Every structure is written in C-alpha cells, then in structure tokens.
Amino acid sequence: MREKYAVPAFNVYNIETINAVTQAAEELESPLILALSPATVRHIGMRLIATLVRDISWRSTVPVALHLDHGHDPEFIRQCIQAGFDSVMIDESTEDIATNIRNTREIVNQARGRGNVAVEAELGCVGGFNVATNTLISDDWLTDPDAVAGFVSKTGIDCLAVAIGTQHGPYRTTPKLDIERLRKIRQQVRIPLVLHGASGLLDRQIKEVIEAGISKINIATELKIAFTDAVRKYLMVHTSESDMRWYLQAGQKAVNEVAKQKIKLFGSAGKSRSV
C-alpha cells in the first residue's frame, strides 16, 4: 500500500503450476500468494496440498502464502483454516449485506482462533457467472463506497475484494473500470484492497488500479490458457509422445513466463527483501 505495488495471487492447479509461479517469484524476488479454489483443493486433496505447499514455503527464497480463493461453504473454509492455510476468502457477495456481514464475521472469529490467519471478503460482486451459487452477476453489482467502512468494521476482515467492473473468466471486450469508485473505496479503509478478474486487462489498466489503491491482484484464467495452449501445441508436434512429464513441462514453462510478466507489471519484483 505504501509503495504502490500489488502482490500477485496466482491460482494454481497442480505441481507444475505451483512450481512455475514459485520459480518465477524466486527469480524476480517477489512475494507470492498461491491461491486455490475449493474445487482445486478437493481435486488435489486438502492435506496433500497443505503439506506440499508447506514444503515449498520452507525452501523458498521468497515469502509464500497459501490462500483459499472464493470459499462459500463455512465448514470447508474452517477445514482449510485447520489444515494450515495462511489466508481464506469467504465469498458471500451474492447475499444481502446483513448476511454477508454475519457469515463473514463468523469466519473471522474462527480464523482468529488459529492465530495469524487472514480473511478476505467481497463487497459488491465481481462480474461473470458465480458457479458456486449458480448466479449470473449483473453489471451494476459494484461495490458501494459508502458501505465499505461499516462492512470492514463489523466483520474485522484483513483484505477486501472490490467490484469495479472486472469479471471472472475471459473477456470478449476490454472492460471499463470504475477507477473513481476505487479511489473512493480506498479513502474509506486502510486494509489492502483486492482485484479479482484481472486476466485480460490492459497493462495500463493494471497500473491504474494499483495507483488507485489495489494491493493484491488475482490471476487465474491467463495461467490456465497458457498451460493448456502449450500442452496442446507440444502434443500436436510430438504426436507419439506418451511421457506426461515432457508435455507437462511445456505447460509449466508457459505459466512461468506469464507469471514473470505479471510480477514485473504489478511492481512486486524485488519486494521480497522488504516483506
């Protein structure tokens, strides 16, 4: 917040994507957040992913945090807290604000009981389709700056995800971001602000949101696309290849390159020395 850069929160899906973004962060000396959706945690296995990432954080040369992205089920979030996640997100953004406050506060209380576990919540609703709640988000479900201070005070959260015109998934056209709304939100609270739905934004838009107050940026879709495209290209060339280590390495390399680009763009390169 003081130095006007954003910490990258890269969504990871397997050992290759974990290695790819961790190596990128180490090479560029950037702090790093490894984000996993509930579906990914279930896919890998909660105890396995917690153990795996703990091992990476022990031997990493940069600060690494394990984060649950878009948790909806309170019991599942509690299990992630118990498993050793460094931070969790409770996403009650499709609920009314009173329900959002009440349910978020319960998770905050549980996190405090485990010590230094951070909690992120969302006020307003980032665009796109919310799979967990089967909800198509309206374009006007943006964060109300006048509601922010009360929400943060009543919930006790550590980070706030804001809706300013981004959406999850790929964009068909470049989104129009409400930067003035973001500036007003920044003036209301002093906790870090988070931008979801950043894959596909123009570089100038990324720089603009950081300057206006964003301190954490989530990237998922661009990593998935890079990984899949690289594996597909490799198999089209090496049609008889059956050793998955080779084509998965192609995907890992592609994700590594995207991660390095984002770290440089976010301004977090070299910042691990000050964390």
Residue in the structure block whose two tokens are 């954490």: 216
Helix (H) or strand (E) holding 146: helix 145-155
Q: Is residue 86 flagged as an active site residue?
A: no
SS (H, E, C) 99-159: HHHHHHHHHHHHHHHCCCCEEEEEECCCEEEECCCCEEECCCCCCCHHHHHHHHHHHCCCE
DSSP 32: E
Helix (H, G, I), strand (E, B) or coil at 10: strand
- Which position among 55, 69, 140, 146 bears the catalytic label? 69
How many Cβ atoms sit within 10 Å of the Cβ of residue 41? 21
Cα–Cα nearest to 103, from 127, 82, 78: 78
Instruction: Say whether 35 sits in a helix, a strand or coil.
Output: strand
Among 271, 272, 224, which Cα is nearest to 251's? 224
Q: Which residues are catalytic?
A: 69
